Structure 1
Amino acid sequence: MATTDDQIAALEEAILMGARKVIFHSGGTRREVEYHSLKEMRETLAALKASRSTRPRIIRAALD
């Protein structure tokens, strides 16, 4: 599955291009989503951004 950031970028690009179909690639898999309307795309984009901001971030520290 594509990361949330990748999904957001793909959805934003599709909205800017006026496309309703978004294709995500991740780990050798391909996922295609066709939205019914620009409104649905904007709602999905807002939900993805909200989930990204509420998800705890994992910080990896390099140990020497």
Structure 2
Amino acid sequence: MSSIDDRIAALTEAIAMGAKRVTFHSGGTRREVEYHSLKEMQDLLDRLKAEQALAQRRKSPIILVAN
């Protein structure tokens, strides 16, 4: 699982629990972040999901078919 996947999972779980403190691992390091509001967390979660989707599109192979 990539760092972005870990952050998405941690944020999703924290939002579901109503918590504003999130713990996740990044590059082998345990990190803990406390957010000001659930809205701030949701905004970050939306950005991370968009970034993840963009990264997945970049990994998708492009196949060109010539006639």
Question: Larger C-alpha radius of gyration, 1 or 2?
Answer: 2
Alignment TM-score, normalising by the size of structure 1: 0.79
RMSD in angstroms over aligned alpha carbons?
Answer: 1.8
| Uncovered stretches (5+) of structure 2, i.e. residues with no partner | 62-67
Equivalence for 1:34: 34
**Share of identical aligned residues, percent?**
60
Alignment TM-score, normalising by the size of structure 2: 0.75
Deviation of the 1:3 alpha carbon: 1.2
| Uncovered stretches (5+) of structure 1, i.e. residues with no partner | 60-64
Runs of 4+ in 1 over 6 A off after TM superposition: none
Equivalent residue letter for 1:12: T
Equivalence for 1:43: 43
Q: Which has the higher helix share?
A: 2
